[in-house]
Amino acid sequence: MPEIATIVRLAARGDGVTADGRYIARAVPGDGVDEDGAILPGPNHQQPACRHFGACGGCQLQHVPDALIAEFARDRILHPLERAGIVPTEVMPVHVSPAHSRRRAAMRATRTKGQVRVGFNAEGAHSLVDIAECPVLRPELFELVAPLRQILGPHLAERSAIGITMTLTDQGVDLLLSNLQANSLPVIEGLTGFARETGLARLSLEGPMGVETLVERAEPSIRMGGVTVTLAPAAFLQATADGEAALVEAVTLIVGSAGQLADLFAGSGTFALPLSRTAAVTAADGAGPAIRALAEAARRAGRALVTQHRDLFRKPLPADELGKFDAVVIDPPRAGAIAQMGELAQSKVPVIAAVSCNPATFARDAECLVAGGYTLHRLWPVAQFRWSTHIELVAEFRR
């Protein structure tokens, strides 16, 4: 009788792992695997939600039930911390965003053998999956795929590509197209008609000279903490509104009644604006358009918020300046912020709310803070990239 191995866990990239260490793509804990590597679905193996699963690189976990996705998210964060000798006092319940909740997406349009494709990169390849459905995207974004395929087709040479960045704002979709030549009246008129017919809030083009707005029906904006923030084209925004709410709630719980706060890598104000309801906030970021948008939004709303346009990688806020704050919020990009964490580790700040989108660099930065005398208390895992191995978190550090 052939030997059947059992999948016992999920690896960091979503593969199933057997007890003897074999990695099996698209397998779930509880599945069996025969000698030829064929998967025998177990009680946890669910039907994927999308016909493109296994080809499209956007979702690795559609065959995994939510309970195991939550367990996966928790383990993705805890294992790197354990290797660094750090154990949080308490791990809060995992937040998993629902289907059809992505409000921001980056895609491509290509032409291969005469066929125009619009979609996401294939799993582990540079080829493109021409999407016919997407259970991740907000419907307002997916509804643009077919019209984009039609309008961009004539502008695509064989094996060329056009970048597509879509953001759903309060006024509608903000669309940025990269590498599209629009230097003739017929092309401009065609794009203008497309923007009007699809109800875009704004259509911008990105080329060698930068970003140019072609059509703006309404200035795209988002409400953050009760304040309207105007967004630059393709400005950073948390991927889902409910994921953002989960992150903000955790950060708010950590800082509590702190009166003087610093928000480092503040962006357009995801945390700074909600916290400025009850505290005086100093917000710093190296992204000029984002920090200027935050400054203007705070000014209009009359919030007690001061902004600094500052490269926190090359010029981190020093420990002596940090000492004047009751709490610090820090939300660096995927690379983490080891220089700024070093200054925080030497500071007298009593509480730090650390937000991260990369468990590996978070563990490194956490090790720096712990070495400086901080203790990791509560930790909130957030899986807002539905069915993806991409995990975010909020962590509470105290002296």
What residue has token string 């509590």? Answer: 256
Annotate 159-214 with DSSP letters as a single string: T-EEEEEEEEETTEEEEEEES----SHHHHHHHHHHHHHHT-SEEEEEETTEEEEE
Residue 60 lies in a domain: no
Residues with pLDDT less than 70, the chain:
1-2
Task: From the candidates 56, 59, 134, 357, give the one annotated as an active-site residue.
Answer: 357
**117 and 90 assigned to the same domain:** no
What are 32's two structure tokens?
């069996």
Enter the pTM of the model: 0.94
Residue type, 236: F
**252 and 311 assigned to the same domain:** yes
Helix (H) or strand (E) holding 82: helix 66-83
Residue 33 lies in a domain: yes
Residue type, 287: A
**388 and 301 assigned to the same domain:** yes
**202 and 255 assigned to the same domain:** no
**Tens digits of per-residue pLDDT, 370-396?**
999 999 999 999 999 999 999 999 999
Residue 232 lies in a domain: no
Instruction: Judge contact between 202 and 174, C-beta under 8 A.
Output: yes
Instruction: Judge contact between 298 and 263, C-beta under 8 A.
Output: no
- Spatial distance between the Cα atoms of 48 and 54, rounded to a whole number of angstroms: 9
Enumerate the β-bridge partners of residue 333: none
The per-residue pLDDT for 110 is 93
The per-residue pLDDT for 159 is 82
**85 and 113 assigned to the same domain:** no
Return the ∠ at Cα 115 (arms to 114 and 120), rounded to 5°: 135
Residue 231 lies in a domain: no
The per-residue pLDDT for 67 is 95
**298 and 318 assigned to the same domain:** yes
Instruction: Judge contact between 45 and 63, C-beta under 8 A.
Output: yes
The residue among 235, 164, 173, 168 whose CA lies nearest residue 201 is 173
What residue has token string 């995992």? Answer: 94
Helix (H, G, I), strand (E, B) or coil at 291: helix
The per-residue pLDDT for 112 is 85
**182 and 212 assigned to the same domain:** yes
**Tens digits of per-residue pLDDT, 275-293?**
999 999 999 999 999 999 9
The per-residue pLDDT for 149 is 94
Q: How many domains does the chain divide into?
A: 3
For the chain, state the CA radius of gyration. Answer: 23
**114 and 90 assigned to the same domain:** no
**202 and 171 assigned to the same domain:** yes
Q: For residue 91, what are the domain limits? A: 69-98+237-398
**183 and 266 assigned to the same domain:** no
134 annotated active-site: no
Enumerate the β-bridge partners of residue 193: none
The upper half-sphere exposure of residue 173, i.e. CA atoms within 13 Å in the direction of its Cβ, equals: 29
Instruction: Judge contact between 331 and 353, C-beta under 8 A.
Output: no
**211 and 242 assigned to the same domain:** no
Helix (H, G, I), strand (E, B) or coil at 64: coil
What residue has token string 């497309």? Answer: 194
The per-residue pLDDT for 2 is 64
- Spatial distance between the Cα atoms of 319 and 219, rounded to a whole number of angstroms: 39
What are 8's two structure tokens?
């016992």
The per-residue pLDDT for 123 is 78
